[in-house]
Structure 1
Amino acid sequence: MVAYTFRYATEDWEFEQIHRLNYRAFVEEIPQHAPNPERRLVDQFHHENTYAIGLVDDTVVAMLALRSQRPFSLDKKLPNLDQYLPPNQSMCEIRLLYVVPEHRNGKVLRGLMELVAEYGIRRGHTLALISGTTRQQRLYRHLGFVPFGPQVGTAEALFQPMYLTLEAAQRQTPWVRALRALQEGKDNGQGARRTASATSAGPVNFLPGPVNIPAPVQEAFSRAPVSHRGDRFMAYVQEVKERLCALVNARAVELLFGSGTLANEAVAAQIAQLPGPGLVLSNGEFGRRLVDHARRWRLRHALIEAPWGEPLDYAAVEHHLTTHPALEWLWCVHSETSTGILNDLPRLTELCRRHDVKLCVDCISSIGAVPLDLGQVYLATGASGKALASYAGVAMVFYNHPIPPAPTAIPRYLDLGIYAASDGVPFTISSNLVYALGAALEHRARYGGVDALGKEISAMAEALRAGLRDLGLTIVAPDAHASPAVTTIALPPGIHSVALGDCLEERGYLLSYKSSYLVERNWIQVCLMGEVEPASIERFLAVLGELVGEKQRQGRPSP
């Protein structure tokens, strides 16, 4: 009897064997790729893949790759892919399925299917897609896969698009059924060992959003919805707006209903009305997104970019403002969430004041987390779902000057002037989200406001950073330029960020690690934007140290 072990790949030596199996499968057995002298094939989506593997001792004998990011590989092969699929599904894709010939048996396939089902359940997927080789259609159908659409590929390597429902995957093993029951709060005792280390009070939330929602905010959100035109509700909207303005010392704010990206779109629309060119600053993913906004809106602009993890070059900014007197606006991110850098807003405000430049700032990850003074800012954006500890869905644009409607220049929903002329309610809005945001602001005020919260966050961040350094881990943002609310950790090459994040989630700690810009750099993040108990920092560091030590001990040379 052969003893198999099934798990998600986490170690460098496992990944090296995966690359060689990939070559064996899709160069030698199925001629999909050209041969190479190294006899290894690294998948194009390697850094986004989660690999499910089957091992005999230290040898990988079975593998498949799981991936949740679209576009999927089938999106490129089948235009309008969704028209072939059941509607309203959350999907992932399965790729690179290969089992060494002498291990092609039901036990290996069931082991891999368990990991497929676990991956799907934990991420809320209901459907998995695969391009199954036409040579193994009987096997795929036996596993529950349903063919759809035309075949794809070449005559030498022909594939049939197929999907697998979660229900079909469940039928493979009782453990999968137990896992789903556990996720739904109906665990019957099976599978409980897999999550035994989670805290009794539920997982500790170190995400940048959604954060823990205080009970008063949940209660406010659960109130019966009311008409957005009612006098009492209109008055409440004004009250919430006044509270927000007082929080950041701004003259006015408009509420849009969508994500923070929507707020930045509205800022771009306003900048597009200015006659002069501008300057965009970037030192991370969200600075890059401002650059993308500027390009999409065809804004005339220059770019000053600093490396990720480094502060902005303020001397270069001042030099550019001095040597380009026609510049009219500057757009930047305050808290660069990708790296944990907190850019120097007071310094930028003063630079723009001296050069008569309109300052526009993305404050989505800093509002509510650190004290803000937006009194001299032209436009600034915020969102309800991060450090304000409300539900996502309310985007904010703060300003300090009159904004008239621009009916011939700006799309209606983005026109801040329409909001200003309509007492902030030009269109149908969600009373539930407004009530929740108001309750969140009241809740924060009751506990001392942003100043008191900021001191608490800073103290926890200091303890966290010290503990991470004791573990020998690298923090991306230097202390002098770090946001207390976001700590980004650069993991050493031998520790895979996605695998470590998955392990921490199983131990009851929710971190940010699945975003593509984090996966590409092997980074994970600890965010202190919601209500976090200081004692949880110490417990987290103990668990992280245990997992890091375990993975370092497991590291070994490639076979």
Structure 2
Amino acid sequence: MSSKLLLTPGPTNIPERYLEIFGKDIIHHRTPEFRKYMKENNEYLKKIFKTKNDVAVITSSGTGVMEAAVVNFFSKGDKVLAINTGYFGDRFRKIGEIYGLDVINLQYEFGESYELSDVKKVISENPDLKGILMTHSETSVGILNDVKAVGDLTKNTDIILAVDTISGLVVNDFDFDGWGVDVAIAGSQKAFLIPPGLAFVAISDKAEKAMEKSDLPKYYFDLKQYKKYFDDNNETPYTPAIALVLALNASLKDLVNKGIENIISEKRNLRKYIEEKAQKLGFKLLVKTEENRTNTLISIYREDIVIKSIISALEEKGYTVTGGKGKYAQSLMRIGILGEISKEQIDDFFVIFEEEVKKQLGK
């Protein structure tokens, strides 16, 4: 196993049982064997997204499918709302603007979730609104945004709700069909515990109709091609990351067998455990309200220490954690818990963490 514990919001340490798959020879992607994996993966992904519809598998990073979530469902000049609660919400805004959408940017302070009344106001004042772009788990701050509340506003309208749940899926509650989501995206290097390189897109019936009308340019990310190839032959239109598709199969089996509810509960308990330990060390939690804290990572800060030097010291001792972004670049530490991490490992981490804090405070 790795000598470093990745306490990051992804990628995670890769369990030994998946690493073994990468040591095997490759298979061809136009064979019955590969098609069997694709078909099985689709059935598992439907269970994880909680949707009756197929889930496209694309060889890409998460940002690639953020772009796919924009270019496949809208047309030039379409008005969309970006619910912007951090770095990745802002990325959705940027992608929309680059493709010539008319983006209403609803921006909030770092550490704050969105206000539903603001979203209702935008919808009521913009009868020509075509879409809402939002982040489920905003990893730059550790916010969990309420997707269901927005879905309740859009589900009986023509507004397309596109949700980035790249770091949110599996470890936080998510219900694609039940919440009225139209497009949802996720990535392999997060709670799926395999390397970066695969991304997933769930599409509602409503979004599928919108795909037919979209005039934005696309080639590699044209989801109609992925749908056609999968419908016709359980294949991908272009060469996929074959080894990742095989590792994903093992990962999905494990996730479904363990039970998503059990994983969510386990992560919630681990998050709370870390929050308590951090507060005992004099750190504050960036996200003040419990229901807005993601189980993906814990954002903590303390003004009287330089967090960057502590992060460097932890890295040297075998623990990778991440700092903050934007105005919290100096003071924030983000402790990711997407991987297979035990309380014992967290205890060991906090022993080193406390030593480094004391060193800095001169104690």
TM-score by length of 1: 0.60
Query: Which letter does structure 1 place at the counterpart of 2:282?
Result: G
Partner residue of 1:490 out of 301, 323, 344: 301
Structure 1 residues 408 and 262, CA gap change in structure 2 (3 angstroms): same
In structure 2, stretches of 5+ residues that fail to align are none
Of 535-544 and 366-375, deviating more is 535-544
Q: Is 1:320 equivalent to 2:125 in the alignment?
A: no
**How many angstroms apart in 2 are the aligned matches of 1:409 and 1:202?**
45
User: What is the CA deviation profile of residues 92-133 of structure 1, one whole-angstrom value per residue up to 9, with x for unaligned ones?
Assistant: xxxxxxxxxxxxxxxxxxxxxxxxxxxxxxxxxxxxxxxxxx
Query: Which letter does structure 2 place at the counterpart of 1:437?
Result: L
CA contact under 8 A between 1:228 and 1:430: conserved in structure 2? no
User: What is the CA deviation profile of residues 52-85 of structure 1, one whole-angstrom value per residue up to 9, with x for unaligned ones?
Assistant: xxxxxxxxxxxxxxxxxxxxxxxxxxxxxxxxxx
Matches within 5 A, 1:250-399: 250=51, 251-273=53-75, 276-353=78-155, 355-375=157-177, 376-399=180-203
Query: Which letter does structure 2 place at the counterpart of 1:213?
Result: I
Q: What's the counterpart of residue 123 of structure 1?
A: none
CA contact under 8 A between 2:41 and 2:248: conserved in structure 1? yes
**How many angstroms apart in 1 are the aligned matches of 2:264 and 2:215?**
43
Query: Which letter does structure 2 place at the counterpart of 1:283?
Result: T
**How many angstroms apart in 2 are the aligned matches of 1:407 and 1:353?**
20
Structure 1 residues 436 and 470, CA gap change in structure 2 (3 angstroms): same
**How many angstroms apart in 2 are the aligned matches of 1:356 and 1:464?**
42
**How many angstroms apart in 1 are the aligned matches of 2:355 and 2:215?**
60
Q: Is 1:511 equivalent to 2:321 in the alignment?
A: yes
Query: Which letter does structure 2 place at the counterpart of 1:257?
Result: T
Matches within 5 A, 1:151-550: 202-250=3-51, 251-273=53-75, 276-353=78-155, 355-375=157-177, 376-401=180-205, 402=208, 409-423=216-230, 424-446=235-257, 448-478=258-288, 479-492=290-303, 494-513=304-323, 517=326, 520-550=329-359
User: What is the CA deviation profile of residues 159-204 of structure 1, one whole-angstrom value per residue up to 9, with x for unaligned ones?
Assistant: xxxxxxxxxxxxxxxxxxxxxxxxxxxxxxxxxxxxxxxxx98333
The DSSP-based 3-state class of the residue aligned with 2:104 is strand
Query: Which letter does structure 2 place at the counterpart of 1:219?
Result: E
CA contact under 8 A between 1:259 and 1:394: conserved in structure 2? yes
**How many angstroms apart in 1 are the aligned matches of 2:163 and 2:325?**
24
Q: How far apart are residue 247 of structure 1 and its match?
A: 0.8
Query: Which letter does structure 1 place at the counterpart of 2:343?
Result: P
Structure 1 residues 278 and 405, CA gap change in structure 2 (3 angstroms): closer
Name the Cα RMSD after superposition. 2.2
TM-score by length of 2: 0.91
**How many angstroms apart in 1 are the aligned matches of 2:96 and 2:214?**
21
CA contact under 8 A between 2:76 and 2:101: conserved in structure 1? no
**How many angstroms apart in 2 are the aligned matches of 1:383 and 1:489?**
25
Structure 1 residues 280 and 498, CA gap change in structure 2 (3 angstroms): same
Query: Which letter does structure 1 place at the counterpart of 2:185?
Result: T
- The count of residues paired between Structure 1 and Structure 2 equals 352
Structure 1 residues 345 and 485, CA gap change in structure 2 (3 angstroms): same
**How many angstroms apart in 2 are the aligned matches of 1:516 and 1:324?**
32
Structure 1 residues 221 and 487, CA gap change in structure 2 (3 angstroms): same
The DSSP-based 3-state class of the residue aligned with 1:412 is coil
**Higher relative contact order, structure no. (Cα contacts within 8 Å, ≥ 6 residues apart):** 2
The DSSP-based 3-state class of the residue aligned with 1:414 is coil
Q: How far apart are residue 540 of structure 1 and its match?
A: 2.1
Query: Which letter does structure 2 place at the counterpart of 1:503?
Result: A
**How many angstroms apart in 1 are the aligned matches of 2:215 and 2:356?**
58
**How many angstroms apart in 2 are the aligned matches of 1:489 and 1:518?**
14
Q: What's the counterpart of residue 34 of structure 1?
A: none
**How many angstroms apart in 2 are the aligned matches of 1:518 and 1:443?**
39
The DSSP-based 3-state class of the residue aligned with 1:236 is helix
CA contact under 8 A between 1:281 and 1:304: conserved in structure 2? yes
**How many angstroms apart in 1 are the aligned matches of 2:358 and 2:271?**
22
The DSSP-based 3-state class of the residue aligned with 2:201 is strand
**How many angstroms apart in 1 are the aligned matches of 2:37 and 2:223?**
19
**How many angstroms apart in 2 are the aligned matches of 1:407 and 1:253?**
19
CA contact under 8 A between 1:379 and 1:400: conserved in structure 2? yes
**How many angstroms apart in 2 are the aligned matches of 1:498 and 1:306?**
25
CA contact under 8 A between 2:44 and 2:256: conserved in structure 1? no
CA contact under 8 A between 2:74 and 2:214: conserved in structure 1? no
CA contact under 8 A between 1:476 and 1:488: conserved in structure 2? yes
**How many angstroms apart in 1 are the aligned matches of 2:222 and 2:110?**
33
**How many angstroms apart in 1 are the aligned matches of 2:298 and 2:81?**
27
**How many angstroms apart in 2 are the aligned matches of 1:466 and 1:327?**
43
Q: How far apart are residue 307 of structure 1 and its match?
A: 0.6
Query: Which letter does structure 2 place at the counterpart of 1:294?
Result: G
Q: How far apart are residue 519 of structure 1 and its match?
A: 6.8
The DSSP-based 3-state class of the residue aligned with 2:141 is coil
Structure 1 residues 516 and 307, CA gap change in structure 2 (3 angstroms): closer
CA contact under 8 A between 2:321 and 2:334: conserved in structure 1? yes
Query: Which letter does structure 1 place at the counterpart of 2:201?
Result: V
In structure 1, stretches of 5+ residues that fail to align are 1-199, 555-559
**How many angstroms apart in 2 are the aligned matches of 1:461 and 1:472?**
17
CA contact under 8 A between 2:197 and 2:241: conserved in structure 1? no
User: What is the CA deviation profile of residues 480-507 of structure 1, one whole-angstrom value per residue up to 9, with x for unaligned ones?
Assistant: 3100221112231x42222110111222
CA contact under 8 A between 2:167 and 2:186: conserved in structure 1? yes
Q: How far apart are residue 257 of structure 1 and its match?
A: 0.8
**How many angstroms apart in 2 are the aligned matches of 1:274 and 1:425?**
27
